Amino acid sequence: MSSPLENILLEELRDLTVRVEVLQKTLGTAISLMSQKQRDTIIEALALSLKMTGSEDPRGVAGPAVKEMMDYALLPWYAAEGRSEDA
């Protein structure tokens, strides 16, 4: 059986997970609507400025998250939005 503190922490973790997913989707959608030059700038900025040290990111979460956003930025706008090119 879980303690009340464990239940609170699990709820907080679920809330945080949902918030992160919303932020990632929002950022990915915003990136998908940018011009190619803007998207290239975002990719470069992500690659350069989001390098974190082990003490800042001990579990190594930043790298995969940045790669996911860069991959999203590389998609054509219609693919990022989940539409066909004809839409």
Handedness of CA 26, 32, 33, 39 (dihedral sign): positive
Give the integer Cα–Cα distance in Å for 30 and 69: 11
Q: Give pTM, 2 decimals.
A: 0.55
Q: Can you tell me whether residue 64 is helix, strand or coil?
A: helix
Share of the chain above pLDDT 90, in %: 17
51 vs 27 pLDDT, higher one? 27
- For 42, which DSSP code? H
pLDDT band at 52 (very low <50, low <70, confident <90, very high): low
Determine the pLDDT at residue 13. Answer: 92
Span 32-43, mean pLDDT? 82
